[in-house]
Structure formats: structure tokens, C-alpha cells
């Protein structure tokens, strides 16, 4: 049975009509898969218990996940169970598979419950799937006794009942009470209300700062172009290769190309920088920022 996420009634019907395996047949198939890696035996074992996976997946629909996704995860859990099942232990495969199917579905639900991670520890998982049920029962029992529990008392009782620290109960209560909202949702009910994203402070530069920066860069480029125009062709080439490339060339490589010694290239470079400094000083520019 393909587990491609395309769930429909035909898939459910096929699972319900699959053969029911007796203990001996189940054990034979499990041995064939474990010892011989017989894929036909694995397929038969998985198909027979897919009804169990679908039944367990249906119990988690209240968490808002698509049914076909839940079945997909349940099927993955079923396959993990088949891969790890040891028939020598004398346990029925269905009993063993329940744990793997449940764990796979619960992990999926918790991963997709919120864009903010809900938690992954065993205590957090236990709280996620049991806190509302335990809370409702404790409130009913208190009401039957004529008592009224405040929020702190209720949290303490839940922590004791589930067997987790009080801080975990407080944290999970806060996470489950909120939902994810789009930043493009409006703050007001009317269509002209501001979107929530408009309230987030822009950490970028303001418009006037951007205009000023652009003007400064244009001025510096013009000064640099003027300074370069005062150099001869060889000087311009050396400065460009040494200072205006993403990866500056070495004096040695330039010397080989120009048939000059490394020291002579350094001298030409120094003389070119001196010419440029004189030009820029006349313009009132920041020499160091350009030639550093």
C-alpha cells in the first residue's frame, strides 16, 4: 500500500479489507523480513496492520492536521516498527507497533502545532497531549466537591498528576493559549486598519541617511576618478590591480606581467599614491578612506 499522502476513502476501504493475520503467520512474516529482508513479507505485514495506523491517526484530527498527513506519519511509524520488531520476544506485532505509530504521529503534531516550537522533551510531550484532559477532570472533581480552584492551585495539581515540574506546566499553558497570527493581519476590524508588520521598528537606515550616503559615495567616486586620471597608464594599471580588485594582486605577479622587479612595482605604486593624495588634498577628501 503506497504511503504517498494521497488519502481517500478507497485507501481506508482497502485497509479495512486487508487480511487479518494470526499469530503464527505474523511471526513467519516477521522472521522472513528480519532474516531474509523479504520485501514481499514486509509489504504483507504492513498492509495487514495499516488499518491500525489509520485508526490511530484519526484520533489526532482534533489537532488540526490534515488526515492524509497524519496517516502518512502513522504509516512511517508502522514501517519503523516492522524494521525493529523482534519476533523472538513473543510479543504480537500489533502490540509493539502501537508505540511506534503513536510516537510518529505525536512528533508530527508537535512539529506542526505552531511556528514557534512547542517542545520536544518527554515531559513537554506528555503535557501537550494530556494537560487539557487532566485540567478538565480536575475542575470537574473540584466542582463536584463544591470547591473552586484558582489558576495556581490548578497548575500545581496538573504538575503532580502528570508528573512534571510546575514551570513546565506554566510554560505549556502559555504556549497552548496563543495562536500564530499573520504579520499582514490588520489591527482593527475595518479594512483601513494598520497591519501588525507596520508596528515593527525598521532597523535599517532612514531615508535621509540613505540619500546622504548615496551622495557621499558619488562624491568619493568622482574624486577617485579624478585622482586616477592624473596617473599614467602603468600607474593606473598597478593601482587598479592592487586596490580596486576583489582579490588584490601581489607585487610579484604584477612584476612578472610588466617585466619589472617586485621592488620597482612597489616604488611605482607608492609614487602613484602620492600623486593621488596631492589631488585629493586639494579636493578636501578623506585620503585614508580611499587608499586604506
Range of the domain at 245: 207-291
Mean pLDDT of 132-156: 82
For the chain, give the number of residues: 292
DSSP annotation of 259 reads T
Residues 106 and 127 in one domain: no
Is 22 contained in some domain?
yes
Q: Are 104 and 80 in contact (CB under 8 A)?
A: yes
Model pTM? 0.44
Mean pLDDT of 44-58: 90
Is 184 contained in some domain?
no
Is 170 contained in some domain?
yes
Residues 20 and 75 in one domain: yes
Is 42 contained in some domain?
yes
Residues 145 and 224 in one domain: no
Provide the grid cell at 231. Answer: 596617473
Is 192 contained in some domain?
no
Q: Are 180 and 145 in contact (CB under 8 A)?
A: no
pLDDT at 32 over 60: yes
Residues 266 and 236 in one domain: yes
Lowest mean pLDDT among 106-115, 164-173, 222-231, 258-267: 106-115
pLDDT at 100 over 80: yes
Residues 74 and 161 in one domain: no
- CA 44 to CA 113: how far, in whole Å? 33
| pLDDT tens per residue, range 258-279 | 898 989 999 999 998 888 888 8
Tell me the Cα Rg of the chain.
Answer: 36
| pLDDT tens per residue, range 70-89 | 888 999 999 999 999 999 98
Higher pLDDT, 88 or 8: 88
Is 194 contained in some domain?
no
**At 184, is the secondary structure helix, strand, or coil?**
coil
Residues near 44 by beta carbon (within 8 Å), at least 6 away in sequence: 19, 29
Given this model, what pLDDT does residue 207 score?
62
Residues 29 and 52 in one domain: yes
Q: How many CB atoms lie within 10 A of CB 288?
A: 9
Is 38 contained in some domain?
yes
Domain count, the chain: 3
Is 237 contained in some domain?
yes
| pLDDT tens per residue, range 183-231 | 555 555 545 556 555 555 555 556 666 677 777 778 778 878 888 888 8
Find the CATH number of the domain harbouring 282.
Answer: 1.10.10.10
Find the CATH number of the domain harbouring 92.
Answer: 1.20.120.1810
Q: Are 100 and 78 in contact (CB under 8 A)?
A: yes
Amino acid at each position: 500500500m503506497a504511503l504517498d499522502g494521497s488519502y481517500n476513502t478507497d485507501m481506508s476501504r482497502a485497509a479495512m479489507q486487508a487480511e487479518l493475520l494470526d499469530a503464527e503467520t505474523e511471526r513467519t512474516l516477521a522472521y522472513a523480513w528480519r532474516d531474509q529482508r523479504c520485501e514481499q513479507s514486509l509489504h504483507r505485514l504492513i498492509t495487514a496492520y495499516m488499518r491500525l495506523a489509520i485508526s490511530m491517526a484519526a484520533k489526532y484530527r482534533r489537532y488540526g492536521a490534515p488526515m492524509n498527513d497524519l496517516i502518512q506519519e502513522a504509516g512511517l511509524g508502522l514501517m519503523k516498527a516492522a524494521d525493529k520488531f523482534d519476533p523472538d520476544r513473543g510479543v504480537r506485532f500489533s502490540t509493539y507497533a502501537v508505540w511506534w505509530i503513536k510516537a510518529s504521529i505525536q512528533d508530527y503534531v508537535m512539529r506542526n502545532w505552531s511556528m514557534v516550537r512547542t517542545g520536544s522533551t518527554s515531559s513537554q510531550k506528555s503535557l501537550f497531549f494530556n494537560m487539557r484532559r487532566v485540567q478538565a477532570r480536575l475542575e470537574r472533581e473540584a466542582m463536584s466537591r463544591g470547591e473552586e480552584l484558582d489558576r495556581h492551585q490548578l497548575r500545581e495539581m496538573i504538575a503532580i498528576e502528570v508528573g512534571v515540574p510546575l514551570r513546565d506546566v506554566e510554560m505549556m499553558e502559555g504556549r497552548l493559549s496563543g495562536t500564530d497570527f499573520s504579520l499582514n493581519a490588520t489591527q482593527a476590524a475595518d479594512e483601513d486598519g494598520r497591519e501588525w508588520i507596520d508596528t515593527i521598528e525598521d532597523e535599517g537606515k532612514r531615508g535621509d541617511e540613505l540619500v546622504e550616503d548615496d551622495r557621499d559615495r558619488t562624491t568619493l567616486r568622482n574624486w577617485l576618478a579624478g585622482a586616477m586620471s592624473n596617473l599614467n597608464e602603468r600607474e593606473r594599471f598597478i593601482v587598479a590591480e592592487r586596490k580596486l580588485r576583489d582579490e588584490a594582486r601581489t607585487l610579484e605577479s604584477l612584476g612578472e606581467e610588466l617585466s619589472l622587479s617586485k621592488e620597482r612595482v612597489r616604488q611605482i605604486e607608492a609614487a602613484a599614491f602620492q600623486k593621488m593624495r596631492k589631488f585629493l588634498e586639494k579636493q578636501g577628501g578623506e585620503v585614508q578612506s580611499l587608499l586604506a
